[in-house]
Copies of this chain bind each other. A is one copy, B any other.
Amino acid sequence: MLYSTAYLEKRLADLQEKLRSEGLRITPQRRAILRALVMEQGHPTAEELHRSLLPEYPTMSLATVYKTITMLKHLGEVLELEFSRDNRFDGHNPRPHPHLICQGCGRILDPDVPGLAEMIDTLKESTGFSVTTHRLDFYGLCPDCKSNNKKDG
C-alpha cells in the first residue's frame, strides 16, 4: 500500500469535489475526516479515526465520524469491512477486493489475486447466480510475525 503523496492529495481533492457536486457541505470536521481516511495507511476503525483526529479537533465527536463515513459509503467512496466487532474502512479503494490480514500484527494488505475474475465467472456459470460483489479475506501471518513467532517459540 504505497501511494505517493501526490496521488493521495488528488484523491482528497476529488472527494471534496464529489461532496461539492452533490450539494453536501464541506465542514472542518468533514475535511478532517476525509483527510484522515485518505492519508491513514491501512484500514482504520471508526474509533481509530476519531482518536487520531481528537488532538487537532478536540470537539470532534464519534457520532460525526460515523455519520461522515456513512455518507461516504452512500457515495460509493468508502468500503466498509464488517467484522463482528470493530468494522474497518478503506478510503482508497471502495470497490470490493481481497484482503490479506495478519493475525499477528493486525496489518491488512490488498494483495493481487490473479485469476479471481475467472474464478467468479466459473462460479456464475456453475451455480446460475449473478455474482455482484464479494468479501474475500485471507488470514495468516505476515513474514515479520512469522519470524518473531519463531524467536518467541
Contacts and interface: CB of A to CB of B under 8 A. Distances in A.
Given A84-B82, A115-B115, A131 B120 contact: no
A122 interface: yes
B139 A132 contact: yes
Interface residues of A, number: 38
Given A84-B84, A115-B115, A137-B135, A146 B130 contact: yes
7 contacts: A111-B127, A113-B122, A124-B140, A129-B142, A131-B139, A134-B138, A135-B139
Interface of A: 82-84, 87, 100, 102-103, 109, 111-116, 119-120, 122-124, 126-143, 146
